Amino acid sequence: MEHFSIYNNSPIAKIDLSVFNILGNSLSIKREDMLHPFVSGNKFRKLKYNIQAAQEQGQKTLLTFGGAFSNHIAAVAAAGKEFGFETIGVIRGEELEVKISENATLSFAKSCGMRLYFISREAYRDKDNPEFIINLKNQFGDFYLLPEGGSNALAVKGCEEILSNETASFNYICVPVGTGGTMAGLVKASNKEQQILGFSALKGTFQAAEIAKYTPKTNFEITDDYCFGGYGKIDIDLIRFINEFREKTKISLDPVYTGKMIYGIMDLLKKGHFKENSRIFAVHTGGLQGIAGMNQKLKNKNLPIIE
Ligand SMILES: Cc1ncc(COP(=O)(O)O)c(C=O)c1O
């Protein structure tokens, strides 16, 4: 794991909130997006111990699942290339097979050597069924299986390492939520005075049950108030915010996860949600590779793009 340990820490950037006309609290962002250009943010954390386990088991191939714009697919493809694994991506949507060149994420994964295997949305729903996995093994040979989104116990262990002594004095720890695996690691590694606040990237806060599988701690809350209607959905307000935030802070945000979280934090700050003089800490979980795909969709709809 020599390569990964080089990247083990990321800088913390203090945001000047006065340029957003916000006073009385502080916001710092942990730039996990800077860990690695493609295995960035929580992807690096989630893969670290899984790659180690695959190496220890002598596995030669990593297999995982994802949709057309999946950060996880891009990260597994890049990590496979870097660490000498064959990679197989089982992709939701048969129709995408003829559109690889139009899709930045899938083209990138392919350029890293990932074998892309497209299946129907219906078949994809079956991906956790043991029989489905056996069929994949019959087809492709043995592999180390990474679940969709990459969340498992080893991933949660890796995500615990996002927090350290450096972060112990923050009052709130904010994170975008998909499956809840990253947040589970943060909850586990937090101290009891800290409140972990999750911003769901999709409708619902069902991820709380996922977190409870990994830790008995309850110092957390998940909101879907800033999911903008659902997974991958955005509007002009969010695009403008992401562009404004980048202009003022030089920090890029992705439209699916981190953009929604920072939008939510700013809104809650303006509404006085946090106690005065609170020290707020947000995890930039990466995902910037998804901007190209989103911009393609925005252009097709004649909407402004993410700069
Ligand atoms: C950039 C980014 N942030 C946050 C998340 C959410 O992570 P989790 O699924 O662990 O909740 C993801 C999803 O995989 C992601 O790609």
Question: Ligand 1 pocket: which of 31, 45, 179 to mutate (most atoms <8 Å of CB)?
Answer: 179
The rounded Å distance from CA 110 to ligand 1 centre is 21
CATH number of 2-36+157-300: 3.40.50.1100
Other beta carbons within 10 Å of 89 = 26
The rounded Å distance from CA 125 to ligand 1 centre is 20
Q: Whose CA is nearest to atom 6 of ligand 1?
A: 178
pLDDT at residue 2 in the model: 46
Q: Whose CA is nearest to atom 13 of ligand 1?
A: 178
- Among candidate residues 195, 208, 204, the one with its CA nearest the CA of residue 273: 195
Q: Is the CB of 151 under 6 A from ligand 1?
A: yes
Residue boundaries of the structural domains of the chain: 2-36+157-300, 41-150
What is the rounded CA–CA span in Å between residue 57 and residue 78? 20
Give per-10-residue mean pLDDT for the chain (307 aa).
Answer: 60 96 96 88 94 97 95 95 96 91 94 97 93 96 95 96 96 97 98 97 97 97 98 95 98 97 98 96 95 91 91
Please return the burial class of 305, using the count of CB atoms within 10 Å of its CB with bins 0-12, 13-18 and 19+.
middle
Fold exhibited by the domain 41-150 = Rossmann fold (3.40.50)
Helix (H) or strand (E) holding 279: strand 279-283
Ligand 1 atom nearest residue 177's Cα: 11
Q: Do 2-36+157-300 and 41-150 share a fold?
A: yes
Strands across the sheet with 144-145, in order? Answer: 115-119, 86-92, 61-66, 144-145
What is the rounded CA–CA span in Å between residue 208 and residue 34? 28
- Tally of CA atoms within 13 A in the half-sphere of 247 that contains its CB: 10
The rounded Å distance from CA 182 to ligand 1 centre is 7
Name the token pair of 82. 């870097």
What is the rounded CA–CA span in Å between residue 65 and residue 100? 16
Q: Whose CA is nearest to atom 14 of ligand 1?
A: 149
Q: Whose CA is nearest to atom 15 of ligand 1?
A: 287
Contact of 29 with 12, CB cutoff 8 Å = yes
Q: Whose CA is nearest to atom 3 of ligand 1?
A: 285
Q: Is the CB of 182 under 6 A from ligand 1?
A: yes
Alpha helix (H) residue ranges in the chain: 2-6, 42-56, 71-83, 104-111, 121-124, 130-140, 153-160, 181-189, 207-214, 236-249, 258-270, 290-300
Contact of 30 with 189, CB cutoff 8 Å = no
pLDDT at residue 7 in the model: 59
- Among candidate residues 142, 132, 138, 165, the one with its CA nearest the CA of residue 54: 142
The rounded Å distance from CA 180 to ligand 1 centre is 8
Q: Whose CA is nearest to atom 7 of ligand 1?
A: 178
Name the token pair of 27. 């916001």
The rounded Å distance from CA 151 to ligand 1 centre is 9
Ligand 1 atom nearest residue 46's Cα: 10
The rounded Å distance from CA 53 to ligand 1 centre is 21
The rounded Å distance from CA 138 to ligand 1 centre is 30
